[in-house]
Amino acid sequence: ILADMDKPTMEDDIRRHVGDTGRTKLVCRTGRPTEPTDLDLMSLDSARSVVVLSPQGDDPDAHVIKTLLALAKRSGDHPPVVAAIASTANMAAARLAGGPDVHLVDSDDTASRLIVQSSRQSGMSVVCMDLLNFDDGEIYLRSDPDLTGMAYGDALPAYQTATVIGLRGSSGVMLNPPMDTVISAGDEVIVIAHDDSLIHLADGMPEAREEAILSVEHTGPAPERTLVLNWNGRGRQIVRYLDGYVAPGSVLDIASDHPDAATGFEGLRNLTVNVKECDTADRYALESLGLGVYQHVIVLSDDRFPAGHADTRTLMTLLQLRDMQTSLGERYSIVSEMHDENNRSLAEVTEADDIVISDTVIGLLLAQLAENQHLAEVFDYLFDSRGSEIYPRPAGQYVRPGAPVSFASVIESARRRGETAIGYRLAERVNEAPHFGVVLNPDKSRPLRLGPGDSVIVLAER
Q: Is residue 39 part of a domain?
A: no
* Mean pLDDT, residues 69-91: 87
Res. 205: pLDDT tops 70:
no
- Residue 451 pLDDT class (50, 70, 90 cuts): very high
Mean pLDDT of the chain: 89
Residue 5 CB contacts under 8 Å (≥ 6 apart), including other chains: 30
Domain assignment of residue 264, yes or no: yes
Q: Confidence class of residue 214 from pLDDT cuts 50, 70 and 90?
A: confident
What CATH code is carried by the domain that includes residue 352?
3.40.50.720
Is 344 part of any domain? yes
How many Å apart are CA 188 and CA 166, to the nearest integer?
Answer: 9
pTM metric for this prediction: 0.86
What's the domain count of the chain?
1
- Measured CA to CA, the distance from residue 153 to residue 420 in angstroms comes to 8
- Rg of the Cα atoms in the chain: 23
pLDDT tens-digit profile of 24-52?
A: 899 999 999 999 889 988 888 889 999 99
- CA-to-CA dists, residue 140 to 187, 310, 372, 402, angstroms: 13, 37, 9, 33
In a domain, 233, yes or no: yes
Q: What pLDDT is stored for residue 231 in this prediction?
A: 95
Q: pLDDT tens for residues 133-145?
A: 877 678 999 999 9
The range of the structural domain enclosing residue 306 comes to 218-356
The residue type found at 8 is P
Mean pLDDT of 242-266: 91
Query: Does 286 reside within a domain?
Result: yes
Q: Residue 114: pLDDT above 80? A: yes
Residue 139 backbone dihedrals phi, psi, to 5 degrees? -100, 135
**Residue 29, in any domain of the structure:** no
- What residues contact residue 137 under an 8 Å CB cut-off, 6+ apart? 130, 131, 163, 192, 193, 194, 423, 440, 441
Q: Is residue 343 part of a domain?
A: yes
Contact 290, 314 (CB under 8 A): no
Asked if residue 302 is part of any domain, the answer here is yes
Tens digits of per-residue pLDDT, 360-417? 889 999 999 998 888 888 988 887 767 788 888 899 999 999 999 999 999 999 999 9
| pLDDT bracket for residue 254 (50, 70, 90) | very high
Query: What letters, b where the CB count within 10 A reaches 16 and e where it falls short, cover 237-259?
Result: bbbbbbbebbeeebbbbbbbbbe
Average pLDDT over residues 242-267: 91
Euclidean distance between CA atoms 457 and 127, whole angstroms: 9
% of the chain surpassing 70 pLDDT? 98
Residue 236 has pLDDT above 80, yes or no: yes
